[in-house]
Amino acid sequence: MKNFSKKAISGIISLVIAASAAVSLPISGSAKGIAYGDINGDSFVNSSDALAALTYSVGKRDLTSDEFIRADVNADKKVNSSDALEILRYSVGLIQKFKAEGVNNTSVDAKTAVTVFNKAVEYSKKILPSYTFQQTPSETVDDVKVTSNSSLISDDLLKQAAEDAKKQYTTAPKTYTKIVQQKAEESAQKMVGTFDLSRLLELASIECKKNEKGNYLLTVKFKNEKNPTESSQIVKVLGQMSYDSAKKALADNNSLDGVKAKIDAFNFTYENCILRCEINPSSYEFVSIDWSVKNVSNSKVTTAVGFVKLTVEMSMTGNNSTSYSKFGY
């Protein structure tokens, strides 16, 4: 049997784990019943609600669709430090009313709203507007286990490798910004896709309001999807990976010097996927688009290096928030 030094063994383990993690796929009121600012639903607006808005804005917690609406107190379809500040000001009596409470909440039916959304997407891909594109991804390794069939690799070394991987591949939210130029092909490439109007009942919910400017404020909540196919609305509209594409990428990335890994198990689920946007229904121009999705994945991959087999079992949670703003048509 080929002899392996401790350094070589550690190197092999690192390579196998890196390949596995690389594609282990990877948020009082004018409208009746909406208590703006009361994010946690305890009937009070205080610092706890402000903290909830802040922790969401940095990717440390999720908000349900209803919680997001209550948290967006300044009615800009985003939840960030500005909302947290307004909630704090309200809680100490510096303001008596949130901006969101003055927004016109005239409802628009789902099919009409999505039809306008689709036309806005098609118009954008034709006109190629400029816009600011931002993504905020993060990854958390919930659990990782590394095992081997070889007595040359000690249990302590395997446990240490697992702990190192958990720290290495857990990444805090970081925002990446790209200014997409007008008439650039990238404008169409990064744009969201259209919905299938015949499949609207497959979505969890569709809500659209008309604001004081007459613009549509559309919120679409997708149903959770396990191992989505190419026809998945999350895949087609948001450009996320299908199960087959993700599995192929996992296999390709687990190749070490031409040695193919065996995927013993692989599953992932898209959760808490929400799209929000503001559209001018007369011109079919977007004012803003925001969407977010959580990806919960589990994989088990075995790689053989000579007579030594290494198996990596990993559970990960990924979060991605994407926004389009400052459109220039």
- Domains within the chain, CATH numbers bracketed: 6-26+107-140+170-328 (no CATH), 47-102 (1.10.1330.10)
pLDDT greater than 60 at residue 30:
no
pLDDT greater than 70 at residue 105:
no
pLDDT value of residue 4: 47
Residue 7: pLDDT band with limits 50, 70, 90: low
pLDDT greater than 50 at residue 1:
no
pLDDT value of residue 161: 85
Residue pair 51/84 in contact by the 8 Å Cβ criterion: yes
pLDDT value of residue 238: 97
pLDDT greater than 80 at residue 233:
yes
| HSE-up (13 A, CA, CB side) for residue 24 | 32
Residue 323: pLDDT band with limits 50, 70, 90: very high
% of residues, the chain, pLDDT over 90:
56
SS3 content of the chain, % helix, strand, coil (to 5): 35, 30, 35
pLDDT greater than 50 at residue 268:
yes
- 3-state class of 129 per DSSP? coil
Q: Give the mean pLDDT of 71-82.
A: 90
In 48-129, beta strands by DSSP E: 106-107
Residue 27: pLDDT band with limits 50, 70, 90: very low
Residue 10: pLDDT band with limits 50, 70, 90: low
Residue 6: pLDDT band with limits 50, 70, 90: low
pLDDT value of residue 23: 43
Which tokens hold the place of 280?
Answer: 């001018």
- Tell me the pLDDT of the chain averaged across its residues: 86
Q: Give the mean pLDDT of 289-311.
A: 90
The 3-class secondary structure across 8-66, one letter per residue, is HHHHHHHHHHHHHHHCCCCCCCCCCCCCCCCCCCCCCCCHHHHHHHHHHHCCCCCCCHH
pLDDT value of residue 31: 37
